A and B are shown apart, each in its own frame.
Chain A
Amino acid sequence: MNPPAGEAGRGAQWSVPPEPGPEQDRRGSTPADRGSPVGRRVVLGLLGLGAVGVVAGSPLQDGLDAALAPIQRNDPTGLSDLLPGDYFRIYTVTDGYPYQSPVSYRLSVDGLVDRPTSLSLADLRSRPATSLVRAFQCVTGWRVPDVHWQGVLLSDLLDEAGVQPAARALRFLSFDGAYSESLTMAEARRPDVIVAYAMGGRPVSQAHGGPVRLYVAPMYGYKSIKWLSHIQVVDRVEPGYWETVGNYDVEAWVGRSNGRNDPTT
C-alpha cells in the first residue's frame, strides 16, 4: 500500500485535490469525531433480519399473505400484484409456453392396458369430477396455498382403460416435447391425484399447463406435469425430466424427499 506516491503524482497539477489518504485519516482524528460504525450496524441488522426471515419461513409467509390479501383485493391499479406473495413461478423447460387448442386437445392413455383411449377435453369434463383444495409446493421452497383444483381421478381413467397385471408404473408426457414424469401404480391410485382441467374455478390456463395437467397433491410440484398429452402404462418406473437432468428424487413426497425428512406443511 503506497498512497503517498499516488498523492505526489497527482500533486503535480495544481488543480488536483488533496484527498486525505488512510494515513492522514488516522492522524489527527480523535475517536470522538470519527463517529460511530453505523454502517456496520445496518449491515449486521439486515443480515439478522434476513436470517430471522429464513428461519421463520412458512409462518411468516402465511402472516404476510393474510396481511396483504385485503390490499391486493382492493387495489384498482393492480400494482400490488407485483409484490411477492402467493403466486406461481411459471417453470418451463422449453422456450415459451406450448399451445394446444381446447377443441383439438387429446389425452392418450395406452401401453399395458386392455382398451387404449384418446380423450378430448369434453370427454374428461363429462366424467365424474373430483375437486381438491390443496397447496402447490415447489421443491425450491415457494408455495401457493389453498388452490382449488378440479379434474378426473387418475384412478378412474386407469380403470376405464383396464390396467393389465404386468403394469407397475405410469409415464406421463407433455406436449411441450421435452417434459416427462412418472408415478408408481400405487401412487397413481391415490384419491388426491387428478388429471386437472380447472384451477381456481377456471379452465387451466396455458401458463399453468392447460388445457390439461396432472395434479399430484402429496408431492412436490415437479410431479404435477403441465401440458399433459400422453399417459403410458408401463412395467417399471422411468425417471422423469428433472429426475434425470436435475437429479431430483423420483419419490417426491412433500417434506420427505429431496434432502429432507420434515413434517408435511
Chain B
Amino acid sequence: MAATIRRRSAPAGRGWLDRFDGVERAVHWVNAALMLVLVFTGATLYLAPLGQAVGRRALVEDIHVYCGIALPVPLVIGLAGPWGGRLRADLRRFNRWTGSDRMWLRAAFRERSRRQALQAEIEVGKFNAGQKLNAAWTAGAGLVLLGTGLIMRWYHPWPLSWRTGATLVHDWMAVAVGIVVIGHIGMAVSDPDALRGIFTGRIRRSWAERHAAAWLDGRD
C-alpha cells in the first residue's frame, strides 16, 4: 500500500500525523461552546445564589433550552454530508470495541503502576477505551438530557409523575455529565500533545506510537 511506504519513509518517532480534520474540529468546538453555555445556564437555573446574581431567569431558561436543542445539530451536519468521511470513520471507531479495548479498560481500574505497565503493552487504536466510553456516554446522556429537557419545557402532554421523573433524571444526568466534562477537560489539559491534536488537527508521531499504535499501523 502506498500509505505504508509513505509512513516508512518518515524517521521513527518524528513528524506529524493528521488526527482530526477541519470538520471534526469544527464539530468538537461548536459542541464544546454549546456545552459550556448549557453548563453555565444550567447551573444558574439550578443553584439559587447564582440565579439571584444573574437574574433574568426567563432569558437564561430560553438560552438553555435552545442551546440544548441545538446540541446535536453540529454533529448531525458534520456526519451528514460528503465532508463527513473522517467523522463517520471515527464514529465507527467509537462504536466498535475490540478485545484490546476491553483489556485496556480493565487495566484502567488497577493501581497506577500496574495500570501503566498493562496499558503500555496494549496496542490501542485511534481512540482508547476510555475515550470510546466517554463518546458513548456523552451521546447517550446528551440524548437523555434532550428528551427530559423537552418534557420539562413542553410539559402539557405528559402525566405529572412523568414531569417529576423527567426533572429528576435531567438533574442527576446533568450533574453526572458535568463531572465527566470536568474530567474530560482535566485529562486533555494534562496531555498537551493530545490537546494540540484537537486544536490543530495534528499529533506527534511519537505520541501515536505510545497511545495509538494500532491506528499508526493502519489496523484501526
Interface of A with B (CB < 8 Å)?
A: 1-3, 6-7, 10-11, 14-22, 24-25, 33-40, 42-47, 49-50, 53-61, 64, 82-84, 88-97, 137, 139-143, 207, 254-255, 258-260, 262, 265
Contact = CB atoms under 8 A, between A and B. Distances in A.
Contact of B17 (A17, A35, A258): A17
Given A39-B132, A50-B169, A140-B163, A16 B96 contact: no
B167 A141 contact: yes
A103 B32 CA distance: 49
A156 to B, nearest CB: 31
B152 A96 contact: no
Interface in B115-134: 132-133
B67 interface: no
Contact of A60 (B143, B168, B220): B168
Contact of A16 (B16, B101, B148): B16
Contacts of B56: 95
Contacts of B147: 47, 50, 54
A141 B139 CA distance: 25
A1 B98 contact: no
A35 B98 contact: yes
A50 B175 contact: no
Contacts of A42: 133, 136-137, 140
25 contacts: A2-B85, A7-B3, A15-B15, A19-B17, A19-B19, A25-B89, A35-B99, A38-B136, A43-B139, A46-B137, A46-B141, A50-B143, A57-B166, A58-B165, A60-B168, A89-B45, A92-B51, A92-B57, A96-B55, A140-B163, A207-B52, A258-B156, A260-B158, A260-B159, A260-B160
Given A14-B10, A84-B171, 7 more contacts: A1-B85, A16-B16, A19-B86, A39-B94, A47-B144, A54-B148, A84-B168
A259 B156 CA distance: 5
Contacts, number: 210
Interface in B141-196: 141, 143-144, 147-148, 151-153, 155-169, 171-173, 175
Given A10-B18, A15-B15, A84-B175, A20 B161 contact: no
A64 B168 contact: yes
B144 to A, nearest CB: 3
Chain B interface size, under 10 / 10 to 19 / 20 to 34 / 35 or more:
35 or more
A16 B168 contact: no
A54 B162 contact: yes
A39 B18 contact: no
Contacts of A37: 95-97
A18 B6 contact: yes
Contacts of B3: 7, 18, 20, 24
State the 10 A-B residue pairs at the shortest beta-carbon distance, nearest first.
A141-B163, A46-B140, A57-B165, A18-B3, A84-B171, A259-B156, A95-B55, A50-B144, A17-B17, A57-B161
Contacts of B167: 140-142
B209 to A, nearest CB: 12
Contacts of A141: 151-152, 155, 160, 162-167
A38 B132 contact: yes
Nearest to A139: B155
Contact of B48 (A1, A90, A93): A90
Contacts of A1: 82, 84-85
Interface string B1-35: 11110110110000111110100000000000000
A89 B86 CA distance: 43
B162 A57 contact: yes
Nearest to B91: A39
A43 B140 contact: yes
A43 B143 contact: yes
Nearest to B151: A54
Given A21-B85, A47-B144, A39 B136 contact: yes
